[in-house]
Chains A and B, each alone.
Chain A
Amino acid sequence: MRENPYRKDFPIFDNKGIVYLDSAATAQRPYAVLDKERAFYENMNANPLRGLYGISVEATEVYEHARERVAGFIGAASPEEIVFTRNATESLNLVAYSYACSFLEKGDRIVTTIMEHHSNMLPWRLAAEKTGADIVYMLPDKNGKFPAEEISSKITKGTKLVAIGHVSNVLGVTNPVKEIAEAAHGVGALVVLDAAQSVPHIPVNVQELKVDFLAFSGHKLMSPFGIGVLYGRKELLESMPPFLRGGEMIDSVSAEGETFAPVPHKFEAGTVNAAGAAGLEAAIDYIENVGFDFIGETERRLTEILFEEAAAYPYFHILGSEKPEEHSGIVAFTIDGVHPHDVSSILDGDKICIRAGHHCAEPLLRHLGVMSTARASFYLYNTEEDVRFFMEKVKEVRRFLGLGD
Chain B
Amino acid sequence: MAISSIYSNILNEHNLRPSHRGSTEGATQVLEGVNPSCGDDIFLELRLEEGVIKDASFNGSGCAISQASADMMLDLIVGETKEQALHLIDIFMRMIRGEASEDEIDELDEAGLLKDISHMPARVKCAVLSWRTLKEMLEKED
Question: Which of A's residues lie within 8 Å of B, judged by CB?
Answer: 338-342, 345-346, 348-350, 357-358, 371-372, 400-403
Interface SS, B side: helix
Nearest A residue to B13, CB-CB: A402
* Residues in A neighbouring B37, C-beta threshold 8 A: 357-358
Which of B58-66, B71-79, B82-90 lies at the interface with chain A? B58-66
The B45-72 residues at the A interface (CB cut-off 8 A) are: 61-65
CB of B16 within 8 Å of the partner chain: yes
Known: A400-B7, A403-B16. 17 other contacts (CB 8 A): A338-B64, A341-B63, A341-B122, A341-B126, A342-B63, A342-B64, A345-B3, A345-B6, A345-B7, A345-B65, A345-B120, A345-B123, A346-B7, A348-B4, A349-B3, A358-B39, A402-B16
Q: List 10 A-B contacts (CB under 8 A).
A: A341-B122, A341-B123, A342-B7, A342-B63, A345-B6, A345-B122, A345-B123, A358-B37, A401-B16, A402-B15
Instruction: Using known A-B contacts A357-B38, A358-B39, A372-B38, determine if residue A342 contacts B65 with beta carbons closer than 8 Å.
Output: yes
Complex contact B12–A402 (CB within 8 A): yes
Complex contact B38–A401 (CB within 8 A): no
Q: Give complex CA distance A402, B68 in Å.
A: 13
Interface centre among B5, B9, B123 (most CB of A within 10 A): B123
* Residues in B neighbouring A358, C-beta threshold 8 A: 37, 39
Instruction: Using known A-B contacts A341-B123, A345-B120, A372-B39, determine if residue A401 contacts B7 with beta carbons closer than 8 Å.
Output: yes
* Residues in A neighbouring B64, C-beta threshold 8 A: 338-339, 342, 401
* Residues in B neighbouring A371, C-beta threshold 8 A: 39, 61
Q: Give complex CA distance A370, B136 in Å.
A: 29
Nearest A residue to B120, CB-CB: A345
Nearest B residue to A400, CB-CB: B7
* Residues in B neighbouring A401, C-beta threshold 8 A: 7, 12, 15-16, 64
CB A48 to nearest CB in B, in angstroms, measures 37
Question: Which of B's residues lie within 8 Å of A, judged by CB?
Answer: 2-7, 9, 12-13, 15-16, 37-39, 61-65, 120, 122-123, 126
Nearest B residue to A348, CB-CB: B3
Complex contact A346–B39 (CB within 8 A): no
CB A309 to nearest CB in B, in angstroms, measures 21
Q: Give complex CA distance A348, B4 in Å.
A: 7
* Residues in A neighbouring B15, C-beta threshold 8 A: 401-402
Complex contact B126–A349 (CB within 8 A): no
Complex contact A341–B38 (CB within 8 A): yes
7 smallest A-B Cβ distances: which pairs? A349-B4, A402-B12, A339-B63, A371-B39, A341-B63, A342-B64, A342-B63
* Residues in B neighbouring A340, C-beta threshold 8 A: 63
* Residues in A neighbouring B126, C-beta threshold 8 A: 341
Nearest B residue to A344, CB-CB: B122
* Residues in B neighbouring A372, C-beta threshold 8 A: 38-39
CB A400 to nearest CB in B, in angstroms, measures 6
Nearest A residue to B9, CB-CB: A402
Nearest A residue to B38, CB-CB: A341
CB B133 to nearest CB in A, in angstroms, measures 18
CB B17 to nearest CB in A, in angstroms, measures 9
* Residues in B neighbouring A341, C-beta threshold 8 A: 38, 63, 65, 122-123, 126
CB B33 to nearest CB in A, in angstroms, measures 16
Interface centre among A349, A400, A402 (most CB of B within 10 A): A402
Q: Give complex CA distance A174, B16 in Å.
A: 39
Complex contact A339–B120 (CB within 8 A): no
Q: Give complex CA distance A372, B61 in Å.
A: 12
Q: Give complex CA distance A349, B4 in Å.
A: 5
* Residues in A neighbouring B7, C-beta threshold 8 A: 342, 345-346, 400-401
Q: Give complex CA distance A55, B63 in Å.
A: 54
* Residues in B neighbouring A402, C-beta threshold 8 A: 9, 12-13, 15-16
Q: Give complex CA distance A271, B5 in Å.
A: 47
Nearest B residue to A370, CB-CB: B39
Nearest B residue to A356, CB-CB: B38
Nearest B residue to A349, CB-CB: B4
* Residues in A neighbouring B123, C-beta threshold 8 A: 341, 345
